[in-house]
Amino acid sequence: MSRRGNSDDEDRFSVRPGAPKQRGQAFVSQVLRQASKGANSTGRKPGKTPGSRLGRGHVAARFTGQSLSATSRRATVKVRLVYLKQAGARSTITHLRYIEREGVGREQDTGKAYGPTTDEVDLPGFEERGREDRHQFRLIVSPEDAEQLEDLRTYTRHLMGRMEADLGSRLDWVAVNHWNTDNPHTHIVLRGKDDTGKDLIISQAYITRGMRERAGELSTEWLGPRTELEIQRTLLREVDQERWTSLDRMLQREARDGLNHVDQPASDPKLRQQRVLQVGRLQRLQRMGLATEERPSVWAVHADAERVLRAMGERGDIIRTMQRAMGSQQRDLTVFQPGEESRSVVGRVAGKGPADELYDKGYLVVDGIDGKAHYVALPAKTELAQYPVGAVVEARGSSEFRMADKNIVTLAVDGLYRTDKHLAIAKAQTQSPPTAERDPHEVVNAHVRRLEALRRAGIVERISEGVWRVPADLPEQGRQYDMHRRGGVAVELRSHLPIERQTRVIGVTWLDQQLIGGTSGIADNGFGGEVREALRQRSDFLIEQGLGERRGQRVILARNLLGTLREREINGAAKTIAAETGLTYRPIADGERVSGIYRCNVQLASGRFAMLDNGMGFSLVPWKPVIEQRIGQALTAVIRDSGVSWEIGQRLRPSIN
């Protein structure tokens, strides 16, 4: 150490460190660890969000990638920051269940989650540890040529070890490897806490660049650098691709004042070959209307080229996905656009899968009754399991106005909706006997539940108990809220049974509803042709059961066909349950209120039903998703017109037969 001879500042000095006692990566890791810790102990408040400029890793981000070159292996790292309070209480376990699903591992086995030291992670324990965390990081790491990395687990552990050194903290994480695509990759869920229990704040530079460069460094160390032949073959494949490519990024980087000068250098064979590929790409972009040759060897790539090429790449991926799902079946292929007005698609699920795994978004390929195949992007957090392959679904492109929203606006005076006023009107409209109509209290409660949802979205305001301030355009704002919540698409399961199984089942099927409603919109080809044949077989079965008769070319169905089929199926299921449990079955009349412990649910052709046990017997009540997590709890349901309204957390009421 030596002091500078500067009279203006005698306290300044310079440091001349000696040779480190530790060599190689271990010493570098120790330096970065201490530097990162120092960066987080300056006493300055970090930014409002993880990834702020002074977060962990901002020092390390200056050093990552120094060993990378043009021949280095590349890697893609996608990072999503999730605020757990906003995402919901079950966000973590839902995401973990989504990435650890059947068919993502090798040999089509279930992908198993692993951690730093174990090959089988206790996922509920991991979720519980992070339940009070403010935020969480979700990563997808996709190394180039990952199929050559036979031990992707060890690769991931080494990568996370380097990240720990860069961030100066031990990390709590779980990962799942996915081998179900042509590009193997790893999903990592990283808790938002460091090893001191404080919020883990990662610098933006490390998130956007440092992680990717660390992954690229590790891939290069494991597989060696790319050969010139590999690089040229990769670029040659990109010349004619209808997507955003590395050649396009190269042209973007080399552009000067919006122009690319691609003259042929005579002295550099390597650069000459690169220019040939660039010219080939520019000519392809010109044919696509995305580039113009201003003068010989001078090109201008249009400003919207990246946006157009990325969109074309996404559409190309969708078309290939649809072709795989449909196999040898020839169909016109269409992409169902969110928000399309007055349009619906009805058909069977021909294929499904993840569309954006980072955001838990999936897709369905629907073989429509119109003879076409449709790609439907599902809203985030949609459970793919609820749409079995072969099931019949309906996708709608926009939400309709809610009747509840219209009622609220109609009843509001000077912008205020009052529950006592609504209750008085509902009671006055109730006819005798009371069980034949909806319970007035339940009518009002249903509107209050809707208002609570709209209040959380900032659309309405609760002034006091039973008094709400509502906007005059509430129906439209409510419709927009529903569209946003559903991602612009609402997909309903019409039947979990394939049409082949619907032809001879006791219970209400989608085919029965088509027989009653008519066959308009059903094509003669494709899935539409199969539906027409299934309808003929269903008609024959109903005639066998005494529920229809043939008069010439027409089939006359029995009155109350759906009610009869539903009752027969429920009675059959109840008889089986009674034999297994020893409990007595109690049928429910329309308008009746029933209470009990929710024991389980039963999937029937007529729909899903919840079993309620009141201690003296059991009832089968139409199931709704709102009670999915309520098994073992006391619930109350009000039955009306084959529908149901559930009350959560109600005390059991004694019932009199």
Angle at which helices 474-485 and 403-411 cross, to 10°? 150
Strands 461-464 and 467-469, bridge-based pairing: antiparallel
Running DSSP on this structure, what letter comes out for residue 592?
Answer: -
pLDDT, residue 387, reads 93
pLDDT above 60: residue 579: yes
Beta partners for residue 610, in sequence order: 601, 621
Quickly tell me which residue has 């440092």 as its tokens. 210
Per-residue confidence band for 164, with pLDDT thresholds at 50, 70 and 90 = very high
Amino acid at 547: L
CA distances, 629 to each of 487, 505, 598, 600 (Å): 24, 30, 10, 11
Per-residue confidence band for 11, with pLDDT thresholds at 50, 70 and 90 = very low
Quickly tell me which residue has 């009002």 as its tokens. 444
Beta partners for residue 499, in sequence order: none
Domains recognised in the chain with CATH numbers: 67-164+171-202+212-223 (no CATH), 228-303 (no CATH), 307-396 (2.40.50.140), 403-485 (no CATH), 497-558 (no CATH), 563-648 (2.40.50)
pLDDT, residue 359, reads 81
pLDDT above 70: residue 434: no
Running DSSP on this structure, what letter comes out for residue 584?
Answer: P
Q: Which two tokens stand for residue 285?
A: 């972009």
Contact 316, 308 (CB under 8 A): no
pLDDT, residue 273, reads 85
Per-residue confidence band for 380, with pLDDT thresholds at 50, 70 and 90 = confident
| 267-272 own/partner pairs: CB under 8 Å, 24+ apart | 270/228
* pTM of model > 0.85: no
Between 328 and 163, the more confident residue is: 163
pLDDT in tens, 55-96: 899 899 998 988 888 889 999 999 999 999 888 777 888 888
Three-class secondary structure assignment of 197-266:
CCECCECHHHHHHHHHHHHHHHHHHHHCCCCHHHHHHHHHHHCCCCCCCHHHHHHHHHCECCEEECCCCC
Give the span between the Cα atoms of 556 and 438, in whole angstroms.
32
pLDDT, residue 304, reads 94
pLDDT in tens, 531-563: 999 999 999 999 999 999 998 888 999 998 999
